[in-house]
Structure 1
Amino acid sequence: MVEVGQWEVRGHLDTVAPRPAAAGAHTGKHRTVLACTSSSTRRRRRIARPPQGGRFPDVEIDLTAEVGHGLGEPATQADAVLWPLLSTALVPCGVHSGDPSSILRACSLAVTREAALGAAVGYADRVGAGERFVDYDPEDLAATIIYQLGALDGLALAEQARVTCVRAGGALFDAVRTDRNHAWALVNAVLDYDPTLTIIGLPDSRLLQTAERNGLSIAREFQPHRLLNANGSLGAVVTEPEAVARRALDAVASGGYDTIRLPWHTSAERACAKAVHTALVEAGHTITTPQAPAQPELPVHLAVAGRMSSA
Structure 2
Amino acid sequence: MRVDLNADLGESFGAWRLGDDEALLELVTSANVACGFHAGDPTTLRGTCRAAAARGVTVGAQVGYRDLAGFGRRFVDVAPDDLEADVLYQLGALEAMCRVTATRVAYVKPHGALYNAVVHHERQAAAVVAAVRAYDPGLPLLGLPGSRLLALAEEAGLPTRTEAFADRGYRADGTLVPRSEPGALLHDADAIATRVVRLVTDGVVEAVDGSAVAVHADSVCIHGDTPGAVEVARSVRRHLEDAGVLVAPFATSARG
The answer to whether TM tops 0.5 is yes
Number of equivalent positions:
237
Q: Is 1:150 matched with 2:92? A: yes
Q: Is 1:68 matched with 2:10? A: yes
- My pick for the range that moved more, 236-245 or 169-178, is 236-245
After TM superposition, the structure 1 = structure 2 runs for residues 110-121 of structure 1, keeping only pairs within 5 Å, are: 110-121=52-63
Tell me which amino acid in the other structure corresponds to 2:198.
D
User: Taking structure 2 as the reference length, what is the TM-score of the superposition?
Assistant: 0.87
Q: Separation in 2 of the partners of 1:209 and 1:118?
A: 20
User: Taking structure 1 as the reference length, what is the TM-score of the superposition?
Assistant: 0.72
- Residue 148 of structure 1 and its aligned partner are, at CA, apart by 0.2
Q: Separation in 1 of the partners of 2:99 and 2:5?
A: 23
Q: Could you say which residue in structure 1 is the equivalent of 2:188? A: 240
Contact in 2 for aligned 1:264/1:273 (Cα 8 Å): no
Q: Is 1:226 matched with 2:168? A: yes
CA RMSD of aligned residues (A): 1.9
Q: Separation in 2 of the partners of 1:207 and 1:136?
A: 16
Q: Separation in 1 of the partners of 2:88 and 2:16?
A: 30
Q: Is 1:268 matched with 2:216? A: no
Q: Separation in 2 of the partners of 1:263 and 1:270?
A: 10
Q: Could you say which residue in structure 1 is the equivalent of 2:71? A: 129
Contact in 1 for aligned 2:88/2:132 (Cα 8 Å): yes
Instruction: From the CA coordinates, give the structure whose radius of gyration is larger.
Output: 1
- Residue 284 of structure 1 and its aligned partner are, at CA, apart by 2.3
Q: Could you say which residue in structure 2 is the equivalent of 1:87? A: 29
Q: Could you say which residue in structure 2 is the equivalent of 1:173? A: 115
Instruction: Find the partner of 2:50 among 97, 102, 108.
Output: 108
Q: Separation in 2 of the partners of 1:263 and 1:103?
A: 17
Contact in 2 for aligned 1:263/1:270 (Cα 8 Å): no
**Unpaired runs of 5+ in structure 1?**
1-58, 298-311
Q: Could you say which residue in structure 1 is the equivalent of 2:83? A: 141
Q: Separation in 2 of the partners of 1:187 and 1:263?
A: 24
- My pick for the range that moved more, 232-241 or 276-285, is 232-241
* Aligned partner of residue 181 in structure 1, secondary structure: helix
Contact in 2 for aligned 1:88/1:116 (Cα 8 Å): yes
Q: Is 1:202 matched with 2:162? A: no
Higher RCO, 1 vs 2 (CA within 8 Å, ≥6 residues apart): 2
Q: Is 1:187 matched with 2:135? A: no
* Aligned partner of residue 250 in structure 1, secondary structure: helix
- Residue 107 of structure 1 and its aligned partner are, at CA, apart by 1.1
